[in-house]
């Protein structure tokens, strides 16, 4: 992985909530163009390595004092992956909507909204889930052995339990 970067998690949260709200609105109002709009912003976000709707936070919510920054030293790759994955599914969903495959299209749009909601409100990370199970299945490249001499389940150089 690359170096740690200062990442504002509030911007990510606002972007995820925007995706949920707009996708829901797109479905309820039967406006596929709204789903396309979400797709475009998510694609741009993935390409520019920034939350697709982060501008809502930067230009409106934060200046108005409606949202506070929550900056953490974090790796950008997982966020890049989840936005890229979401954008890919949205592209497929949008294509489905415009090729008269409505059920397929709206299902994918709904899937992106559901995963964004689970991430925003439940902390659930699809990439973490996939990575974890690929590791459990023993696929090469998805596991990391503890340093030599470390008892399984224990942290290297320390006890399993943190004693204070």
Whole-angstrom distance, CA of residue 36 vs CA of residue 31: 9
Phi, psi of 100 (to 5 degrees): 65, 20
| Torsion 121-28-36-69 (CA) sign | negative
Which is closer to another protein, CB of 60 or CB of 132? 132
Minimum distance, C-beta of residue 71 to another protein, in the bound complex (Å): 12
**Total residues at interface with another protein (CB under 8 A):** 43
**Cβ contact 51:42 at 8 Å:** no
Which is closer to another protein, CB of 7 or CB of 44? 7
Could you say whether residue 29 binds another protein (CB under 8 A)? yes
The residue from 65, 149, 153, 157 that contacts another protein (CB under 8 A) is: 153
Which is closer to another protein, CB of 59 or CB of 68? 68
Could you say whether residue 64 binds another protein (CB under 8 A)? no
CA 105: distance to chain centroid? 20
**Cβ contact 16:109 at 8 Å:** no
Minimum distance, C-beta of residue 149 to another protein, in the bound complex (Å): 13
């Amino acid at each position: 992985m690359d170096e740690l970067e200062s990442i504002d998690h509030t911007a990510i949260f606002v972007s995820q909530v925007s995706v949920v709200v707009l996708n829901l609105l797109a479905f309820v109002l039967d406006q596929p163009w709204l789903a396309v709009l979400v797709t475009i912003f998510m694609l741009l976000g993935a390409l520019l390595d920034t939350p697709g709707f982060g501008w809502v936070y930067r230009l409106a919510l934060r200046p108005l004092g409606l949202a506070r920054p929550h900056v953490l030293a974090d790796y950008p790759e997982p966020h890049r992956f989840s936005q890229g994955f979401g954008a890919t599914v949205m592209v497929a969903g949008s294509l489905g909507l415009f090729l008269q495959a409505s059920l397929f299209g709206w299902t994918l749009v709904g899937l992106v909204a559901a995963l964004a909601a689970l991430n925003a409100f439940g902390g659930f990370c699809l990439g973490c889930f996939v990575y974890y199970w690929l590791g459990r299945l023993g696929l090469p490249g998805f596991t990391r052995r503890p340093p030599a001499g470390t008892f399984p389940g224990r942290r290297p150089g320390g006890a399993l339990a943190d004693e204070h």
